[in-house]
Amino acid sequence: MKQFFLTIPIGVRYVLMSAFGFSLMAVCVKFASVRGIPVLEIVAARALVSLGLSVMDVKRKGISLIGHRRGLLLSRGVVGTLALICVYYALTKLPLAEATVLQYLHPMFTAILAFWFLKERLHLSTIVCVIFSFLGLLLVSRPAFIFEKFGVAHSTLDFWAVGAAVLGAFGSAVAYVLVRKLNETEDSSVIIFYFPLIALPLSLVLLGNDFVWPTGWSWLLLLLVGVFTQMGQIGLTKAMQTETASKATAFSYLQVVFAAVLGWLFFSEMPDIWTFSGAALILLGAIVNGFWKR
């Protein structure tokens, strides 16, 4: 088994680590919610852990925490926070597989936003990604006003949760576009630092009087949300730094597989054929958009 593992390219190993880390984070978010912890409190807990780790990282590099383009940095923090709130809400209301699949709509939104705001060329691969992603979204969500006309049962998924998942994907895309712009002048650690810097106070303000004092295992779950998030981010960052990262990117979509398995294992969730079909289209669109040139 060890010999087989060592034959896997280092970039692929890091991407697998990232996908598994983010999947475990989703499990902890769902468990914390089941134990009565509000979504905004989970966001605040993750931000607190990330803030401490980010400050140490910036100090280690010996650079300024403030950055140069503070307006854009603050905007990235606000957008990223709102997107995370939507994603976490969707995780608490939807099966893990469905919530994870809908997150992968962000390549479609990123491509469209980059076309409009960064003046990037709209390639055929982007158009294919948009079409596949939209069709995949329809299959996963199966809105009644469309599918009932064809005699197909509509989805029983929470409508507002599906909407939150889509908004989360859109917000992630906006954040990615801002990061592309910030990469011209800012260190990556400073960009990462601004996210928890905004997320912590904003989530606490929105939480208001709904704070629930954690007890027992809830403390560990909240800590693990931050730890597994960091594990996912480190894996993704390390993968992008290796020469095999471009080839390994496709393996990040195994996060959907991990989510489906963990959802079945911990919550007895079993995706239906519509979810599998929609997931196939969404992931195929993302893969086509990312690998068309190669």
Q: Return the number of other C-beta atoms located less than 10 Å from residue 255's C-beta.
A: 24
- R_g (Cα) of the chain, nearest Å: 19
Between these two residues, 258 and 252, which has the higher pLDDT value? 258
Residues 176-180: what's their mean pLDDT? 81
The per-residue pLDDT for 234 is 77
CB 260 within 8 A of CB 86: no
265-276: per-residue pLDDT in tens? 999 988 888 888
The per-residue pLDDT for 246 is 46
Inter-axis angle of helices 273-291 and 106-117, to 10 degrees?
40
Give the separation between CA 227 and CA 229, rounded to whole angstroms: 5
pLDDT of residue 74 exceeding 80, the answer is: yes
Q: Terminus-to-terminus CA distance in the chain, angstroms?
A: 31
Residue type, 125: S
Note the helical H segments in the chain. 2-7, 10-34, 39-61, 70-93, 96-103, 106-117, 124-141, 144-147, 159-182, 188-207, 217-240, 245-248, 254-267, 273-291
The per-residue pLDDT for 266 is 93
The per-residue pLDDT for 263 is 92
Give the separation between CA 213 and CA 19, rounded to whole angstroms: 30
Q: Which of 177, 184, 163 is nearest to 87 (CA)?
A: 163
Task: Classify residue 213 by its DSSP letter.
Answer: -
Residues 57-73: what's their mean pLDDT? 86
- Average pLDDT value for the chain: 83
55-69, 106-120, 181-195, 197-211: segment of lowest average pLDDT: 106-120
The token pair at 237 is 């960052």
The per-residue pLDDT for 6 is 55
Between these two residues, 84 and 57, which has the higher pLDDT value? 84
List Cβ neighbours of 12 (8 Å cut-off, separation of 6 or more): 239, 244, 247, 248, 251
104-132: per-residue pLDDT in tens? 887 778 778 877 776 767 778 778 878 88
pTM for the whole structure: 0.85
pLDDT of residue 4 exceeding 60, the answer is: no
131-152: per-residue pLDDT in tens? 888 888 888 888 776 676 666 6
